[in-house]
Amino acid sequence: MCGIVGYVGRAEAPRALLQGLRRLEYRGYDSAGIATLNGAGIAVRKSVGRIADLERLVAEKPIHGHTGICHTRWATHGAVTQENAHPHFDQSGRLAIVHNGVIENYLDLRAALEEEGHVFRSQTDTEVLAHLVGREFDRQPAHTKGALVEALRTALGQVIGTYGIAMIHQDVPGVLIGARRGSPLVLGIGKGENLLASDAAAMVSHTRDVVYLKDYELAALDADGFQITTLQGDGAGYEISQVEYTEKDVSKGDYPHYMLKEIFEQSGTVRDAMRGRLVLDEATAKLGGLEMSNAELRDVERVVITGCGTALHAGMVGEYMIETLAHIPVECEFASELRYRNLPLPKDTLVFAISQSGETADTLAALRESQRKGHRTLGICNNVGSTIARESDGGVYMHAGPEIGVAATKSFTSQLVVQALIALLLGRLTHLSHSEGLNIIRELDKLPDKVAKALELNDEIARIARKYAQAKVMLFMGRQFNYPIALEGALKVKETSYIAASAHPSAELKHGVIALIDEATPSVFIAPRDAVFEKNLSNIEEVKARKGPVIAIGTEGDDHLGHVADDVILVPEAPDFLTPILTVLPLQLLAYHIAVELGRDVDKPRNLAKSVTVE
């Protein structure tokens, strides 16, 4: 959740730290802080609010140094106050630490430390960790880099919970220490400088060579090198990876918001999700990352798809796709529930865990629980160095590029494309004919151009958004493949505009939902020309009979919706199983433009963070 950046090198640390922190603001923006070793001690600045507030404070009261840490907070323990903002200090005030994660036994640790005379200034679990490490360091016979690593190792042996940590100590100048368990931490390898961050996006201005630290690993960095060890004290092997994207990829360019930029990138990201994966000769998809033979795939009796939020909605569309094309039964499960359920599953069950970041705590826990039960578990994620990508038994990389906006857009459509490829592959291994497979490939090939065409409706959708922006409640309805799209459309409006939006299967309208219909409550119907089009028309008529305003998402050439709906948005025609990739686009734009009309902070909605790494 929170954003961490650490720097050690020959340049001025505050500039590098704040530059990196700006790239991570999507991870939390309740408060922010920075600390540097300045030769005389540790200089610190903290601010409640956004990173811009911290930058103004640093401009007014500059700090200097070549080693430092900084943090942007998404509050877990303690209110949003300057005292609770990171970095936090130990009892001596000579050690500063920033932390992402949750220390579950911090109350017991705090009570024990208070009995020893420690005084705490915040309500956070992180300050307890700082005091714990500082106490262990003060017990060391010499104050060296090795002693600081050993102090951290000893302290973490007493901790229950998750952590991504960056730490400095004024007695060990020119040294930056990090550790991870359950919260991502990336080491950036520069020339005459090295960095730590919770996301590689924070360091692409300095280097694209990174090491993704594993759970229970500790890293000690100085300007000229680094050492990685384990919590047990052993040396750890590592692999240097190359970050695929550049500084340009993580900038907004000419767009006013990341969300709008990422919506308009979808023609390219849909194409990238398919690139090199369609095999015309065999009329199928090639997904080598699944690490499964055709014989193993044919033996699959059931599929379970798990995820959270937008990823779960994508999985619900995938359920329809796989059952339609491959005739394999599919269940979709909240990752937060799957980890605690005793779900009875046949031996040959294949589990897919979907996560944009590859670090979602609940999804990662569900993956591990699935593997513990003996099920092959595959990942669908966007971060090749993520924990889910590393720990899964195989999977598919989305190739969507960095997604900065908190409200997921391009990652969602990439997840849908990947699942369409999986459905095609499984279908061709069972009952789909060669000609049917070719037809599906032809339709997939047309998708990027159809996405581009749908996005040309932006101005029209902006006009509709202005018309309904003052609504207090909105209803979203769809059927079959497009019921999950109704869920996703409602989620986007809730996330970005704070409007009480809810989604329902269209046919459930008369089973209670219709009581909400009135002249002030817009209903959005996803009603493309599919197998249930006439049923959707009937439901729209029921809403109009009760004077409810209706926005309808339909198919180009349709001349029925205009007679019953107040506003109509028509997207290109596609087979039923691909319509969600097109019908979701107007809903993303509708949510965006409503939020802009209301003056919301589109890229950084209140109370939300992009990567949910705590339970």
Residue 70 CA to residue 596 CA, distance in Å, equals: 30
CA distances from 287 to 318, 411, 423, 479 (A): 16, 18, 11, 30
Paired sense of beta strands 376-381 and 349-355, if any: parallel
Whether residue 610 lies in the annotated active site: yes
Number of Cβ atoms within 10 Å of the Cβ of 502: 16
Residues 602, 89 contacting (CB under 8 angstroms) = no
Dihedral sign computed on CA atoms, order 387, 393, 395, 397: positive
Residue 2 CA to residue 76 CA, distance in Å, equals: 10
Helix axes 483-497, 310-326, angle to 10 degrees: 170
At 419, is the secondary structure helix, strand, or coil? helix
* DSSP type of residue 215: T
Return all residues near 85 (Cβ < 8 A) that are at least 6 apart.
Answer: 31, 32, 33, 46, 47, 48, 71, 73
Whether residue 308 lies in the annotated active site: no
Residue 615 CA to residue 410 CA, distance in Å, equals: 25
CA distances from 597 to 22, 165, 408, 521 (A): 25, 39, 20, 18
C-alpha 318: how far from chain center = 19
Number of Cβ atoms within 10 Å of the Cβ of 57: 18
3-state class percentages of the chain: helix first, strand second, coil last, to nearest 5:
40, 20, 40
Dihedral sign computed on CA atoms, order 438, 442, 448, 453: negative
Given 2, 70, 308, 381, the catalytic residue:
2
Q: Residue type for 549, please? A: P
Extended strands (E) in 293-431:
302-307, 330-334, 349-355, 376-381, 395-397
Measured in residues, the chain has a length of 615
* DSSP type of residue 611: S
- Name the residues annotated as catalytic: 2, 610
